Amino acid sequence: MPWARDLGLGVSIVRDGTASATVRLAGELDIISVAVARRALGQLEGGTRRIVIDLSRVTFCDVAGVRFLVAARERASEAGTNLIVLYPHPSVNRVLDLTGTLPLVRPDTASMRVPAPDDAVVSTCKAAVTEAIRVSGADTGNAQLVDPANGALRIVAQQGFKRPFLNFFAIVHDEESACGTALAAGEPVWVPEVARSPIFAGTPALDVMLDAGSRAVASMPVRGYDGHVIAMISVHYHQPTTWTAQQRQQLAVIAAETGRLMFPGQTPGVADSVGTTG
């Protein structure tokens, strides 16, 4: 189901057969918009045995939002439905923690905390962003690490972005972004014009990208010594952009060198310098 927006909250329902569904929310889950989320869940009542609420794009949650999540789990339990809350945005996790409702909403992961990345790794990522911006002529850039607990990307270094962009892309696990698509494909993704890209079309991410002035973006996977993607380096431009073969190769080298520096003495896999265009 494509994204729909009402009262400031984006909603997308993805059904997996007849007994499982994922409700994706984007924006602010508050006293005004909580009715929209409630209606979305209402569409799944009766017959749906497993419901996932994806909160990775919810950048704000107030007490009404917390009550909604707690009540949703209680109703699901009474109906024999397995309701799971996944990828809560850091701001949502803080509210759940402060209100003492985290164990009620996420009983299986309430004790889990994302460990802070190693200082040396963060420094390496910061240097990679600086160098990637320099060689590519980009206006802004960021680096993300893959969370080993859930496979999502989390920003650890950035240059030039303001808080709305950083909040929205704090957790990326889907393919509605260049970095998420690159993570899923395991190869670089080149988006010469964000406004025309099928990756962003019809998604909440499109508005966030355009509001941030990002008109083009390239994302380069960083591989560990075993060849698995462990991080992502992305560069953004304020104008539609095409990349020369030299720029693509230079960014690939930066990604490979970043992986090597994260694991001194090991040989990381080398990112494909061609990749895909979206």
pLDDT at 111: 45
pLDDT given for residue 46 in this prediction: 72
pLDDT given at position 206: 97
Among candidates 134, 124, 130, which has minimal Cα distance to 247?
Answer: 134
Q: Of 161, 138, 241, 233, whose CA–CA distance to 193 is shortest?
A: 241
pLDDT in tens, 50-99: 999 999 999 999 999 999 999 999 999 888 899 999 998 888 988 988 89
In this predicted structure, the answer to whether residue 269 has a pLDDT above a threshold of 60 is no
Predicted confidence at residue 219, as pLDDT, reads 98
What domains can be seen in the chain, in order of their start residue? Answer: 4-105 (3.30.750.24), 119-277 (3.30.450.40)
pLDDT of 25 reads 96
278, pLDDT greater than 70: yes
CA distance 81 to 98: 27
Residue 270 has pLDDT above 60, yes or no: no
Structure tokens at 108: 């299986």
240 pLDDT more than 80: yes
* Cα four-point dihedral sign 98, 103, 104, 107: positive
Q: How many CA atoms lie within 13 A of 78 on its CB side?
A: 7
Of 234, 91, 267, the closest CA to residue 156 belongs to: 234
pLDDT, tens digit, for every residue of 121-153? 999 999 999 999 999 999 999 999 999 888 999
pLDDT in tens, 162-213: 999 999 999 999 999 999 999 999 999 999 999 999 999 999 999 999 999 9
- In angstroms, the first-to-last Cα distance of the chain is 21
Report the 10 Å Cβ neighbour count for 174. Answer: 19
- 22/49 Cα distance (integer angstroms): 11
Work out the average pLDDT over 263-269.
58
Quick: pLDDT tens for 200-234. 999 999 999 999 999 999 999 999 988 899 999 99
Determine the Cα–Cα distance for residues 195 and 188; give it in Å rounded to an integer. 19
